[in-house]
Structure 1
Amino acid sequence: MKAVGFKESLPVEVANALEDIELGTPIPRDQDLFVEVQAVSVNPVDTKIRMRGGPETGHKVLGFDAAGVVKGLGAGVSKYKLGDEVFYAGDAARQGTNAQFHVVDERIVGRKPSKLSMADAAALPLTSITAWEILFDSFKLQEGAGQGDTLLVIGGAGGVGSILIQIAKAATKLRVVATASRPETIEWCKKMGADHVIDHRDDLTEQLDALGIAPRYVASLTATEQHFDAIVDVIEPRGEICVIDDPVDLNIMKIKQKSLSFHVEFMFARPIFQMDDIDSQRAMLNRIADLVDAGEIITTATRHLGSINAANLIEAHRLQESGSVYGKTVLEDFE
């Protein structure tokens, strides 16, 4: 089968940073679906893994979002049938979705929203699970709750921010303040449903004070180290902070005086550690599909780079690393 992978860590400017390769067709295990991949999207984790080092042998296939059709079933599959259209984020401990065929545990797979194309659906899984786990696992909110409270989303125009804003507005009663810095990203956050958009290049405290807002919840999706002092300054006492980036030098004791809670979200934890509630990710994706089909959530796809091949994925990685991407970049079908 056709796939795109890498065997050594190379800068994105190098032509073979990713390569078109041929691999054997994977075989589904007990609870695996065998999926014909029809569309994928790119996330920051793709570029991080590519730059972290190559595999010990062979090629590593990246890709942690897919939409496609079920073409085979493991012996223990009970939730899907042949021909089902699905979307999912996969498992960081296994080969990725940038391949014609992919095997994935049915417990982390959702039904594809019927109102979306494969490409538009592929933009959503990883970021939707991340956002859902921030709100309902880390912050322990319930659907329909949050009246009178504010969520501050730092980095609101990114893939996670785009869907986090939408889920918060569709599934809770939170007021949402997002940060963005360019005219196009400010407008994008407003399109996603943010009640207010402030500039993360300027003083967050001053801007929130001007709005008369002290958030109870802060989702820091990027540049946490840069904004950490401001986060601690603006948040309500006994508030909740959740980060998804990789800060290396935080003085966590700064949160003590306000008795804040600090969370780290990593959506691959459930599949990597085969947690008892791993099936909750299937439920999350099915709930997202319901919200999409009800017209309460839209795709976050903003760029379609064409077919799934090494050249187009290198361009997607280049865009991701440039910091200019808002929403999600998608690719569809192998040549």
Structure 2
Amino acid sequence: MSLPTTQTAIAQLVLGGADTLQEVLIPVQKPTGRDILVSVKAVSVNPVDYMKRSGAFDQKLDEPLVLGYDASGVVEAVGEDVKLFKKGDEVMYAGAMTRSGSNAPYQIVDERIVAAKPKTWSYADSAALPLVGLTAWEALVDNMGIPVSQTENPKSLLVINGAGGVGTVALTLASKVLKLKTIIATASRPETIAWTKKFGATHVINHTLPLGPQLTKQGLTFDYVFIYSQFNLYFFTLSSHPPVCGGSNTKNIDEIVPLINPLGKITSILGPDGPIPLQAGMLKSISFHWTAMFTKALFNARPETQGQILKEIAALADAGVLSSDLVTERHVFNVDNLKKVHAKSESGKAMGKIVLERA
């Protein structure tokens, strides 16, 4: 059966709220080079979706914007230089921020950032893994250099926002793959506290209260910090309450320096609203790393490593190390449900991952 030349995607013609999402007719592209064409079976929603939808990246819309940066599906066609996949293969991927996303029946994606989906997981559950799996792995293993280990690693990790999708996978990797002895997560509601403990946190502190006294009271320090929060520099302000949404206060870095072990490492997936005050950590040789999952595809910087990481993530899923309990909601993929999921994700109240599957 030949492929259609057009498809009905969920896209937006103007930037704005979730109500800008609508059905739009767009072409079905033919894959060339190392691209593959995937029949999308399921997708997931991440903060980058609503951030890009609302114009956070200052982009201009010259054509319909199709979001979607998590997907699973079946390969329908391949470019002339494709080496890794063939028609009929079941795959998963996050995709590239500069290309049309997965909220469409068909999507073009570079084979180098794709992997076979877990054999034992459904399309819906598999769609929850790519972006959060890549982000957590690149943050912990690639950027902070925490080694995969078969024995207990005596070092400690602080995860700011442990109940989100990335935080959930980070806790699991830290506990079961990196074998860290102490894993501290931040959470504030009874359900999020229980969630973080379920997925590997050994200690939980409340991010709506000053963190410093809580850490000191429990005798906790840390070697690594993974910041996955709107308040990405909040950990610098341990003596005060967190700033209002969208802001950060970086004045009190001196209060975190005593709690970070020498040679400590910090990584953040969100940018600051001002200079990062790291000078006070110089004598401890504290290092700071950005983690942006889209970097490799955006700059063609070893993109094949993302396919390799996803292959490892799929193996961990099939082995039961990663749990499909990560998925907290499953919906049929349509424009109304996608709008609702965007709103839920944007509210900051979502735990784990929400997926939408094509009927």
Match of residue 127, structure 1, among 123, 132, 135: 132
- Which residue, 15, 34, 44 being the options, matches 1:41? 44
Question: Is the 1:181–1:201 Cα contact (8 Å) retained in structure 2?
Answer: yes
Residue number in structure 1 paired with 2:338:
313
Q: Quick one: which amino acid aligns to residue 266 of structure 1? A: A
Contact 1:39/1:119 (8 A) holds in 2? yes
2:285 alignment partner AA: S
* Secondary structure at the counterpart of residue 216 of structure 1: strand
1:56, CA displacement in angstroms?
3.2
Cα RMSD between the aligned structures?
Answer: 1.5
Match of 2:233 in 1: 225
Q: Deviations over 1:259-283 (max 9, x none)?
A: 21001100100011111x2111111
Q: CA deviation at 1:39?
A: 0.3
2:9 to 3, 8, 15: 3
Q: Is structure 2 residue 261 aligned with structure 1 residue 253? A: no
- Unaligned 5+ segments in structure 1 are none
Q: Which residue of 1 aligns with 2:4?
A: none
Q: 1:146 to 1:136 in 2, by over 3 A?
A: farther
2:144 to 139, 145, 151: 139
2:174–2:200 contact (8 Å) kept in structure 1: no
Hey, what's the Cα distance between the residues in 1 that align with 2:152 and 2:269?
A: 22
| TM-score (norm. length: structure 2) | 0.88
Q: 3-state DSSP class of the match of 1:60?
A: coil
Q: Distance in 1 between matches of 2:223 and 2:59?
A: 41
Higher relative contact order (CA 8 A, sep 6+): 1
Which residue, out of 170, 187, 190, partners 2:194? 187
CA distance in 1 between counterparts of 2:173 and 2:42 reads: 23
- Aligned equivalents of 2:210 and 2:27: distance in 1? 53
Q: Is the partner of 2:61 in helix, strand or coil?
A: coil
Give the match for residue 178 of structure 1.
185
2:244 is aligned with 1:241: no
Are positions 1:290 and 2:315 aligned together? Answer: yes
**Structure 2 residue matching 1:68: 3-state secondary structure:** strand
Task: Give the conservation status (yes or no) of the 8 Å contact 1:119–1:332.
Answer: yes
| Contact kept in structure 2, 1:41 and 1:330, CA below 8 Å | yes
Q: Is this contact kept in 2: 1:54–1:60, CA < 8 A?
A: no
**1:234 CA displacement:** 2.2
Contact 2:8 2:105 in 1 (8 A): yes
Q: CA deviation at 1:312?
A: 1.4
Q: 1:235/1:19 Cα in 2 relative to 1: closer, same or farther (>3 Å)?
A: same
Task: Name the CA distance, whole Å, in 2 between partners of 1:95 and 1:146.
Answer: 42
Unaligned stretches of 5+ in structure 2?
1-6, 239-255
For 2:244, the equivalent position in structure 1 comes to none
CA shift for structure 1 position 88: 0.5
| 2:196–2:204 contact (8 Å) kept in structure 1 | yes
Q: Which amino acid aligns with 1:268?
A: F
Q: TM-score, normalised by structure 1?
A: 0.94
Percent identity of equivalent pairs: 41
> Helix, strand or coil for the counterpart of 1:284?
helix
**CA distance in 1: counterparts of 2:345 and 2:104, whole angstroms:** 20
